[in-house]
Structure 1
Amino acid sequence: MLCKGNLEILKELKRRIHIHHIDYDKKNTFQ
């Protein structure tokens, strides 16, 4: 079972991954 701490970690990971994908898309767009 997920405790509150794990949920916060998952949210943070998803946020970082989302930002990473945006940066990746920008790099691909500007190449």
Structure 2
Amino acid sequence: MWHWSVSLKKNKTSYHVINIDELRYIMQDGDKTV
């Protein structure tokens, strides 16, 4: 599931490992980059 972290184009800072809570937030946020 950690491969989702590379899809976080919004966070151009660094590709960090996101936890489940962050993942669920991104999914709810409707991230179009995935």
Question: So what's the TM-score if we normalise by structure 1?
Answer: 0.42
Whose radius of gyration is greater, 1 or 2?
1
